[in-house]
């Protein structure tokens, strides 16, 4: 896949978006150039995720952006998403690869180089790597690995790597030489007073996707 499509992944969070609607915040991010949106709402069941996801899928199609569902392969398939992002407690990458259509993207979260290589062998298309810096958005995400830890994982695989965790406008430039293809953010856009401006700033300071 083209790594530039993962240059900035905006991850949803209804609580941070409130009192605005998720689709309004996502729409502003897409209008500003966000190339990828991930639907991640841990407190929602499948039915609610599909209801929330439908307008987001329409928006991402309109703007030509990737639409990825977090964890839930079933929701991703119902919404005709471009892919799913899996964690260590979800279905194995190899199993999801067998039951999804050609071209379906599979992301996987890890901060361990050995696990990263295993995920690549099993068919992962990209990796979400972090927590780069401590963040309130993912309170149980483990110890922060810093830009050095992100670079360590990126150097061990040939698929794109996306840094996540505590990334905002001031920190994003610190990852430009890490080998990461992109960054993923939650609060930096979903909680921003002006999500469109926040998206523009993040795209500007991270610069062109690197050589992941």
The catalytic position among 109, 137, 178, 210 is 109
The catalytic position among 72, 138, 152, 210 is 138
Residue 83 bridge partners (DSSP): 68, 105
The catalytic position among 5, 40, 57, 152 is 40
134 flagged as catalytic: no
42 flagged as catalytic: no
Tokens of 190: 């979903």
d(CA 135, CA 141): 8
4 flagged as catalytic: no
Residue 168 region by backbone torsions, left for phi larger than 0, else alpha for psi between -120 and 50, else beta: beta
Q: Is 71 in contact with 43 (CB distance < 8 Å)? A: no
Spacing of C-alpha 86 from chain mean position: 11
Please identify every residue annotated as catalytic.
Answer: 40, 109, 138
């Amino acid at each position: 896949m083209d790594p530039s499509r993962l240059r900035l992944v905006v991850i949803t969070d209804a609580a941070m978006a409130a009192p605005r609607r998720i689709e309004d915040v996502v729409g502003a991010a897409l209008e500003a150039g966000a190339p990828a949106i991930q639907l991640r709402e841990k407190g929602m069941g499948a039915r609610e995720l599909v209801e929330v996801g439908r307008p987001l899928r329409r928006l991402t199609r309109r703007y030509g952006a990737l639409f990825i569902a977090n964890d839930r392969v079933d929701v991703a398939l119902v919404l005709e998403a471009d892919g799913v992002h899996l964690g260590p407690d979800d279905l194995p990458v190899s199993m999801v690869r067998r039951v999804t259509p050609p071209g379906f993207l599979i992301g996987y979260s890890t901060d361990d180089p050995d696990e990263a290589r295993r995920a690549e062998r099993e068919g992962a298309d990209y990796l979400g790597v972090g927590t780069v810096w401590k963040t309130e958005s993912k309170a149980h995400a483990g110890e922060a690995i810093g830009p050095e830890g992100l670079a360590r994982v990126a150097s061990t695989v040939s698929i794109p790597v996306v840094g996540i965790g505590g990334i905002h406008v001031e920190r994003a430039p610190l990852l430009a030489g890490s080998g990461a293809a992109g960054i993923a953010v939650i609060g930096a856009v979903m909680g921003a007073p002006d999500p469109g401006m926040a998206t523009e700033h993040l795209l500007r300071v991270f610069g062109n996707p690197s050589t992941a």
